[in-house]
Amino acid sequence: MNTRPIGVFDSGLGGLTILKTLSKALPKEKLIYFGDTVNVPYGSKSKAAVTRFSLDIARFMQRQGVKLIVVACNTASALALAELQKKISVPVIGVILPGAMKAAQCTRNGKVAIIATEATVQSKAYPRALKRLDKRIRTYQRACPVFVPLIEEGWIHHSAGEQIISDYLDGVVKSGADTVILGCTHYPVIKKKIAARLGKNVKLVDSAEVLAQEVKTRLSQTDQLNPSGRGSMKIYASDAPARFKRLAKNILGRELNRVYLKKLN
Ligand code: DGL
């Protein structure tokens, strides 16, 4: 059982930010990643569609024999986690709660802003999770729909990109939040630019590290850690694997050997 892989998925490249942290925290584990490049972006799609895509991927992961699934996508975590946990027989962990927990620990003035996709913002998953953790916390949300294509297209260093980042974050600055949740797994890719716009007194929070700890704890509690494995990554994309491989290098900081094409329907 413990040599079975861990499944990780996202709509595209963003979840690689989670995969990278997971592989550092759990270097002996086999990791399988699925980037749903044929359906990206999830952030502008309905709950029904995102749930359908997520279930298809989770079932594929189950067929690969995974011992646990990480939903490395805030949108899918916000919209489809409950359904996945109901229908999938291995544990499924999302990114919302780990991010909310870290933000609740970090804030000093009790004001937390969330930047995320439209669907994640509309779901109110973060404000709800934060209120449950500490009902004094006040939240401000801002959807940043153009960030995902900016990152997927590799346009982050373009001057138009700088302008878009600046405009989107205007309200976040005005909200007075001292803690900002990067509520989309794509956003850590532009973390430096976001930090530059928000200033050094604002703490940026993402789910990756808390989530990696959670995965470790869950697996060790059920005696499913792989203590003597060699560690590996197998990457699938539902469309354009060569392009995925090329752009993945910017996030992982190294070249992938291969990205496999896997069409799910
Ligand atoms: N990276 C994803 C998230 O965390 C989804 C981005 C998208 O596909 O819109 O929400």
The pLDDT value recorded for residue 155 is 83
CA distances from 166 to 18, 175, 194, 199 (A): 25, 15, 8, 12
> Per residue in 15-50, pLDDT tens?
999 999 999 999 999 999 999 999 999 999 999 999
Distance of CA 34 from the midpoint of ligand 1 (Å):
13
The pLDDT value recorded for residue 87 is 98
Q: What is the pTM of this model?
A: 0.95
Strands 138-143 and 111-116: parallel
Lining ligand 1 with CB less than 6 A are 10-12, 14, 40-43, 73-75, 117, 120, 148, 184-186
> Per residue in 47-92, pLDDT tens?
999 999 999 999 999 999 999 999 999 999 999 999 999 999 999 9
Rounded to whole angstroms, how far apart are CA atoms 59 and 250? 29
Q: Could you tell me if 8 and 68 are in contact, meaning their C-beta atoms sit under 8 angstroms apart? A: no
Domains of the chain: 6-94+209-261 (3.40.50.1860), 96-207 (3.40.50.1860)
The minimum-distance atom of ligand 1 relative to the CA of 40 is 8
Q: Could you tell me if 18 and 222 are in contact, meaning their C-beta atoms sit under 8 angstroms apart? A: no
Distance of CA 111 from the midpoint of ligand 1 (Å):
24
The amino acid occupying position 120 is T
Contacts of 107 (CB under 8 A, 6+ apart): 137, 177, 178, 179, 203
CA distances from 209 to 97, 105, 212 (A): 12, 14, 5
The pLDDT value recorded for residue 1 is 56
**What is the separation, in whole angstroms, between the first and last Cα of the chain?**
29
Q: Could you tell me if 111 and 140 are in contact, meaning their C-beta atoms sit under 8 angstroms apart? A: yes
Mark 2-38 as b/e (b = at least 16 C-beta within 10 Å): eebbbbbbbbbbbbbbbbbbbbeebeebbbbbbbbbb
Active site residue ranges = 73, 184
Nearest CA to ligand 1 atom 8: 41
> Per residue in 130-176, pLDDT tens?
999 999 999 999 999 999 888 888 788 888 888 999 999 999 999 99
